[in-house]
Amino acid sequence: MSAFIQLDRLAKNYGDNVVLENLNCKVAEGEFVTLVGASGCGKSTFLKLLLGTESVSSGQLLMAGKPIEQEPSPDRGIVFQRYSVFPHLNVRENVALGVEFVESKWLGRLFGKRRKEALAQADELLSAVGLEQARYKYPHELSGGMQQRLALAQALIKRPKVLLLDEPFGALDPGIRKEMHDLVLGLWRQYGLTIFMVTHDLKEGFHLGTRLWVFDKIRHDPHAPDRFGSTITYDLSLQSKDKALTIAAIDEINAQLHGAEKTTEPTQS
Amino acid sequence: MSAFIQLDRLAKNYGDNVVLENLNCKVAEGEFVTLVGASGCGKSTFLKLLLGTESVSSGQLLMAGKPIEQEPSPDRGIVFQRYSVFPHLNVRENVALGVEFVESKWLGRLFGKRRKEALAQADELLSAVGLEQARYKYPHELSGGMQQRLALAQALIKRPKVLLLDEPFGALDPGIRKEMHDLVLGLWRQYGLTIFMVTHDLKEGFHLGTRLWVFDKIRHDPHAPDRFGSTITYDLSLQSKDKALTIAAIDEINAQLHGAEKTTEPTQS
Amino acid sequence: QDRFSICWSIYVGWMPWEYGDATGIIDKWADKYDIEIDVVQINDYIESINQYTAGQFDACSMTSMDALTIPAAGGVDSTALIVGDFSNGNDAVILKEAATLADIEGQRVNLVELSVSHYLLARALESVGLSERDVTVVNTSDADMVAAYSTRDVTAVTTWNPLVNEILKVPGATKVFDSAQIPGEIIDTLMVKTEVLEANPNLGKALVGAWYEIMSAMESQPEVRAHMGEASGTDQAGYEAQLATTQMFYSASDALAFVKSPKLMTTMEYVANFSFDHGLLGEGAADAGFIGIQTPAGVFGNSGNIQLRFDPSYMEMAADGSL
Amino acid sequence: MRRLINLQPNRVLKVALGIIPFLLILLAYQIGSDIRKAENEQDKLLPSFSEIAAGINRMAFEPSRRTGDYEFWEDTKSSVKRLSIGIAISATIGLLVGLAAGAIPMIAAPLSPLITAISLIPPMAILPVLFIVFGLGELSKVMLIVIGVSPFLIRDILQRTQELPREQLVKAQTLGGNSWQIILRVILPQIVPRLLDAVRLSLGAAWLFLIAAEAIAATDGLGYRIFLVRRYMSMDIILPYVVWITFLAFTLDWCLLKFSRVVFPWYHAEK
Amino acid sequence: MRRLINLQPNRVLKVALGIIPFLLILLAYQIGSDIRKAENEQDKLLPSFSEIAAGINRMAFEPSRRTGDYEFWEDTKSSVKRLSIGIAISATIGLLVGLAAGAIPMIAAPLSPLITAISLIPPMAILPVLFIVFGLGELSKVMLIVIGVSPFLIRDILQRTQELPREQLVKAQTLGGNSWQIILRVILPQIVPRLLDAVRLSLGAAWLFLIAAEAIAATDGLGYRIFLVRRYMSMDIILPYVVWITFLAFTLDWCLLKFSRVVFPWYHAEK
Ligand SMILES: Nc1ncnc2c1ncn2[C@@H]1O[C@H](COP(=O)(O)OP(=O)(O)OP(=O)(O)O)[C@@H](O)[C@H]1O
Ligand SMILES: Nc1ncnc2c1ncn2[C@@H]1O[C@H](COP(=O)(O)OP(=O)(O)OP(=O)(O)O)[C@@H](O)[C@H]1O
Ligand SMILES: [Mg+2]
Ligand SMILES: [Mg+2]
């Protein structure tokens, strides 16, 4: 397997709070990795490392053989659960913004013919995510599902190699999720993306991914819960998707996460 | 079937916006009714009618043969998705408040021995929902699941005949839901409640209820989407819980709701 | 009624009230006439007159001009119980760069509008054949006059002490006209409501008695003047400098001579004319004599509407030593 | 009986109830005025409504004997002009400084404590310093507003900028935006409606400082007139001026809100 | 190179950067003072630091020859007392009225428009009226603060009360609470920490009104002293007084925040 993304004894801590430790993995280009794990176990933190908004504490995180850039850049797109789109721009402008940033260094804004071209480019992607009808709407006029479609289109206009999804459907009605799944799978194939997607829904993880990572702590210190971090406890290949196997795996993981949840259930505020 | 709750040509509209129309049903004491339907179809509105915070526009809503009281009262408990507990009181005080309201007309607060008794009563219910360990904590120190347990204990101290649940587990991690399901089923049996529970998760509805209602519009006016309201389009008895039947029903309902969703998908803000 | 309150504000000629209050002289005289007198200091001069006019106080220190335009014009019949001093250089027109009054033409003059400064300016302009139309008057609060003078925009001010002395310390400031050139026209008095005074002569006796006791202490004892200086926010030297340009009537007989002279009536006529020209006598006033002013030498204006009186009888008692 | 907290007045009742206190105040004034007038016919403290009407007429609809101007309108014009300029300058400063500090942590570090300190200084107390620095002309009146209001605006905009979802800024970076582009196209347009909110909140203070400035040195303006006629207790002029100022303040606030609603619908939908 | 918007100063740098502007201001003052002193040795506008030190010493550490008091501390005592009483009264009014109107729609209907109107009146414009109504004693100084601040507090508390999740009130009703009980046990305790927030926001205005009131009618207090010595432009006293007021304002704000954090941890955790 050629390693596009490589994790090598990767660890991350915030001061004394060890969040991730000893992550070792290789991911090939074009894989669809889904990440599950209890709340607060460090899934989002891992995505932040990939994104470059947080830096590695020890070990290595390589992309195409080089340490990952320490800042967000267009080669790694992201869709968050919320706030991924710009409320003050309409749908087309939201998508075209990525083009404008490149072509207009000082104003970040295009005019006349070049603007038209950028918008045309945006329209293409909007068709791909099924938003052609909503081109002139503002995000607040869109449903949650449509906003996430928009966020996807926005990310894809930069033709990223890696797409990071942090619970992208967590705030959507279950009824809408199915459509979104089809959409993401379609885009993944069409654009040849490498996707890392965090989800709380184990079944979603099984359904979408070619590979599923379970994050969990293997060591616990009851007196200092922050002392040890999570690591990847399961790394399942989902290429075959055998139904019976899947169900068994789900049950096992569920039981395990469930047990862990009881002791580490975090404070909500 | 003896009608504990009876809906008779029940309709509700806000001005020109018809939300519910032509609801006819009888519910016996001790039933567990789960309500599903597209977002914005009027499920919460129906609970509000039962609760008495909204009034019936036409038709009748009877409880034990009499029109339902036009104000919330202790015989109908409620748990919302959020904000059901009081952040400034600790867990015990949250539950004991229901006792204090009854026994102290002017201060709404008990002292000395009577306070102790009230707190003891609260502790009993806290054991029932599995919160004995968290008695002295404040809600902000609890996880989402624990907050909902607290909200249940709080409602149950009034020994309500009817318990209304509006997406009580909608904001919880899927991993925690299973426990909450067991808890609710346990409490339902133990306290002989009549439960109306709104959920977005069709499977949850099937799993928990003795009866499932699907809310949907049967008439559409494409030029005036508010002109017609929702009604109960399916009223399934789930006593038998035949697995195959269930799956078939889920698929059918899903397909139907899904189609409706496309055209009525509401604006989110 | 045996409880009275009087108010005063910080000014060189009114600091004796502070001294009398602090040392108990006023209480002593009040006790003598079996009444009670509250002495209240008010920072803002205009506010003190307004309070008096609105009925919160029975007596208040003010200039004769303000007595005419505020209480008298507001229907509060007032009597000048004590004439304490007149300004003899305390009020002045100061120019920044020019040397003579005539240069003021065309300049913006900062002053407290409609106050005695305004009157002084009008009299000054008259003396060199100019009128108010030849300058622009800018209303400026007295507390900020010194700071205002330090700014580039301000080239001419008309104001009173201690501000005059502060401003004159700035190099280049030239006093081109002052109240010494119109002696006896800016008169500082204690005004009492005529109605109250008539009903309670004891109030008049106590106040006048106390006043002249303070006056004799003030005239003879430097430490008294030091006290007053400090209470007004400066020191003895600063206070003495202000006194130098104030014609204090330390003895009752001096005050009497001033009040009884026919010149007082002429002065009040000037003041009334100025006030009328500036609309200060109220909308109902048809001419400068609309409000009658009674002086020992006679009545100026409408004797049917006397609202301002100079009553020498209490000062006479003091002069006679019969208090 | 429904619980008191659940009783909602209907539209008509609500309007009626809203008007009642104002009527009561007018009535109380009328009675108070009558009582004082009975004692002293010349009383100036609580003039009768006809005297107030005459006062308004004199100021607004008759040219001044001295200058030939309609003083009321001249005063309004001057004050509104000063207020508008003052607010415009404050808003510009608030936007630029607040945005820069909010978006760039390296700018916030030195500015934040300074601005906190400045916002705590009561501007009235340092008037002399202000005069010396800004003179006594129109500039000083405008500057008092600016100094009184802009620290608040800067702090507010700084905070609002920092409150923008971090996710948006990250997203913009993944779209290839550099700092300047992100500030220009993502942060600035979202902050402008928030600036309007902040300006609305600070209007009260701006009026206060305007009136204080006009009281200190001016030749016209609403505050000037009030403090000038205070010299002879012309409440028949002061009272209508106060009502007029209140009305202007209300109108200005309302216009800003309307403007914001029309120009930034997405902002108001979001809230 | 990382983007400017991503660069975070570390702790030490942040403190250092925070101090720099203050040092610069002191330096600029020193230079300005030297320049003016070179022109006119008697200059009072920008006294040298030694003159300021002498001023402080005279006011704070030497008894006044006239009264034997340490005037600085007496002034501080008087002002802080007035401020505290004024704020306490305003807070009480704000809490009671705001809570009642926020919880009971039938009370909000008549009060809401009135309070909006009152909050728009600039208190400076009606100063003369206030002094006449409330006299010139301690009461009037306190009342100016109350009138200036409480409309804001009422509006804020009203809004905060209405913002409490509707769900909580419904829940309390299903627990059998009547209106009074719900106000007492559910609304009031949740509003108190919000009141503290509102009071902190209104402290600046309270200081402003206190100083304005003391400037007009007082015989002691920080505002009184500033206005008294302003006639002589004694900046050697005004400047330390201004710094002291700023410091007091900061301290008061900080204490209220600490207090709220300790007493209402649940409120601050929620935010
Ligand atoms: N900036 C930060 N500073 C300090 N600690 C942090 C920071 N960000 C995250 N953490 C800690 O890291 C841990 C993991 O957080 P993270 O958000 O990655 O969890 P998660 O797996 O995404 O959880 P969830 O499922 O709730 O989104 C948490 O304990 C959190 O407290
Ligand atoms: N107070 C109200 N005034 C006017 N219209 C209302 C009001 N409350 C609800 N509605 C309308 O009633 C309809 C149904 O709302 P409701 O909250 O009952 O839907 P729901 O089925 O609970 O949706 P969801 O699944 O999103 O919770 C919506 O169209 C909404 O706009
Ligand atoms: Mg996360
Ligand atoms: Mg709902």
Nearest chain C residue to D231 by CA distance is C46
Phi, psi of D102 (to 5 degrees): -70, -35
Distance from CA of C226 to the nearest CA of E (A): 9
Is B42 near ligand 2, meaning CB less than 6 Å away? Answer: yes
Q: Which residue has tokens 């403090």?
A: D227
Residue range D102-135, pLDDT digits in tens: 999 999 999 999 998 888 888 888 877 787 778 7
CA distance A65 to A55: 17
Say whether the E–A interface has 3 or more Cβ pairs within 8 Å. yes
pLDDT (0 to 100) of residue B269: 37
Question: Does any CB of chain D come closer than 8 Å to the CB of residue B71?
Answer: yes
Within 10 angstroms of residue B219's Cβ, the number of other Cβ atoms is 10
CB C50 within 8 A of CB D230: yes
Is A14 near ligand 1, meaning CB less than 6 Å away? Answer: yes
Domain-wise residue ranges, chain A? 1-35+59-68, 71-173
Q: Which of ligand 2's atoms lies nearest the C-alpha of B43?
A: 21
Residue range A170-195, pLDDT digits in tens: 878 777 788 889 899 999 999 899 99
For residue A15, what are the β-bridge partners?
none
For residue B22, is pLDDT > 60?
yes
CB C151 to CB D219 under 8 A? no
Q: Which of ligand 2's atoms lies nearest the C-alpha of B17?
A: 5
Task: Count how many pairs of residues, chain A against chain E, have C-beta atoms within 8 Å.
Answer: 7
Question: Does any CB of chain D come closer than 8 Å to the CB of residue E103?
Answer: yes
In a domain, E42, yes or no: no
CATH number for the domain spanning E111: value is 1.10.3720.10
Is B43 near ligand 2, meaning CB less than 6 Å away? Answer: yes
pLDDT (0 to 100) of residue A230: 87
Q: Please name the residue whose Cα sits nearest to atom 10 of ligand 2.
A: B14
Give the start-end residues of each E strand in C64-155.
78-87, 92-95, 108-111, 136-140
Exposure of A182 by Cβ count < 10 A (0-12 exposed, 13-18 middle, 19+ buried)? exposed
CB D3 to CB B71 under 8 A? yes
Amino acid occupying residue C81: L
CA distance C65 to C123: 14
CB B158 to CB E172 under 8 A? no
* E86-94 average pLDDT score: 96
Chains with 3 or more CB pairs closer than 8 angstroms to C? D, E
CB B76 to CB E174 under 8 A? yes
For residue A266, is pLDDT > 60?
no
Is B44 near ligand 2, meaning CB less than 6 Å away? Answer: yes
CA-to-CA dists, residue B255 to A180, B40, B208, B211, D26, angstroms: 15, 18, 21, 20, 66
Mutate to test the interface with B, among E160, E171, E179, E266 (most CBs of B within 10 A): E171
In a domain, E189, yes or no: yes
pLDDT (0 to 100) of residue B264: 38
CB C43 to CB E215 under 8 A? yes
Question: Does any CB of chain E come closer than 8 Å to the CB of residue A70?
Answer: yes
pLDDT (0 to 100) of residue D64: 78
In a domain, D103, yes or no: yes
CA distance C7 to C49: 8
The ligand placed nearest to the CA atom of residue B39 is 2
* E231-241 average pLDDT score: 85
Peptide bond into C162 cis (omega under 30): yes
pLDDT (0 to 100) of residue D83: 95
Cβ-Cβ contacts under 8 Å, E269 against chain A: 269
pLDDT-derived band of residue A98, with 50, 70 and 90 as boundaries? Answer: very high
pLDDT (0 to 100) of residue D96: 96
Token pair listed for D224: 């000037």
Residue range B63-116, pLDDT digits in tens: 998 999 888 999 999 999 888 899 999 999 999 999 999 998 889 899 999 999
Say whether the C–B interface has 3 or more Cβ pairs within 8 Å. no
Q: Please name the residue whose Cα sits nearest to atom 1 of ligand 2.
A: B14
pLDDT (0 to 100) of residue A242: 63
pLDDT (0 to 100) of residue E271: 64
Is A19 near ligand 1, meaning CB less than 6 Å away? Answer: yes
Planar angle of CA C172, C176, C178, nearest 5 degrees:
125
For residue A265, is pLDDT > 50?
no
CA distance D31 to D201: 35
pLDDT-derived band of residue D271, with 50, 70 and 90 as boundaries? Answer: low
CB E270 to CB A71 under 8 A? no
For residue B252, is pLDDT > 80?
no
- E213 closest CA partner among E74, E71, E83: E83
pLDDT (0 to 100) of residue D199: 94
Mutate to test the interface with E, among B53, B81, B101 (most CBs of E within 10 A): B101
Question: Does any CB of chain B come closer than 8 Å to the CB of residue A140?
Answer: yes
Which residues in chain C land under pLDDT 50?
A: none
For residue B220, is pLDDT > 80?
no
Residue range E112-136, pLDDT digits in tens: 999 988 888 888 878 767 777 787 7
The rounded Å distance from CA A43 to ligand 3 centre is: 6
Cβ-Cβ contacts under 8 Å, C19 against chain E: none
For residue D90, is pLDDT > 90?
yes
Instruction: List the single residue in B73, B78, B106 with the smallest CB-CB distance to E171.
Output: B78
CB crowding A201-223: b at 16 or more within 10 Å, else e: bbebbbbbbbbbbbbbbeeeeee
CB E2 to CB A71 under 8 A? yes
Question: Does any CB of chain E come closer than 8 Å to the CB of residue B158?
Answer: yes
CB B261 within 8 A of CB A172: no
Within 10 angstroms of residue E11's Cβ, the number of other Cβ atoms is 7
- D137 closest CA partner among E153, C108, B101, E42: C108
CA distance D225 to D66: 15
The rounded Å distance from CA A45 to ligand 3 centre is: 7
CB B110 within 8 A of CB B119: no
Distance from CA of B150 to the nearest CA of A (A): 14
- Secondary structure class of C168 (helix, strand, coil): helix
For residue A2, is pLDDT > 70?
no
**Which ipTM score applies to this complex?**
0.84
CB C269 within 8 A of CB C288: yes
pTM as predicted = 0.87
* D141-153 average pLDDT score: 92
- B92 closest CA partner among B48, B130, B132: B132
CATH topology of domain B71-173: Rossmann fold (3.40.50)
How many domains, in total, are found in chain E? Answer: 1
pLDDT (0 to 100) of residue B40: 82
Chains with 3 or more CB pairs closer than 8 angstroms to A? B, D, E
Of the listed ranges C62-76, D63-77, E21-35, the least confidently predicted one is: D63-77
Question: Does any CB of chain D come closer than 8 Å to the CB of residue B15?
Answer: no
CB crowding E13-52: b at 16 or more within 10 Å, else e: ebeebbeebeeeeeeebeeebeebbeeeeebbbbbbeebb
What's the helix, strand, coil split of chain B in %, to 5?
40, 25, 35
Candidate of B16, B17, B49 to mutate for ligand 2, largest count of ligand atoms within 8 Å of Cβ: B17
The rounded Å distance from CA A96 to ligand 1 centre is: 32
pLDDT (0 to 100) of residue E150: 93
Exposure of E84 by Cβ count < 10 A (0-12 exposed, 13-18 middle, 19+ buried)? middle
For residues C235 and D160, the model is more confident at D160
Is B211 near ligand 2, meaning CB less than 6 Å away? Answer: no
Question: Does any CB of chain D come closer than 8 Å to the CB of residue C133?
Answer: no
pLDDT (0 to 100) of residue B240: 65
- C189 closest CA partner among C249, C141, C244, C241: C249
User: Taking the C-alpha atoms of C78, C80, C85 and C89 in order, what is their torsion angle to the nearest 10 degrees?
Assistant: 40
Token pair listed for D151: 């620290």
The rounded Å distance from CA A199 to ligand 3 centre is: 9
* D151-156 average pLDDT score: 94
For residue B8, what are the β-bridge partners?
B60
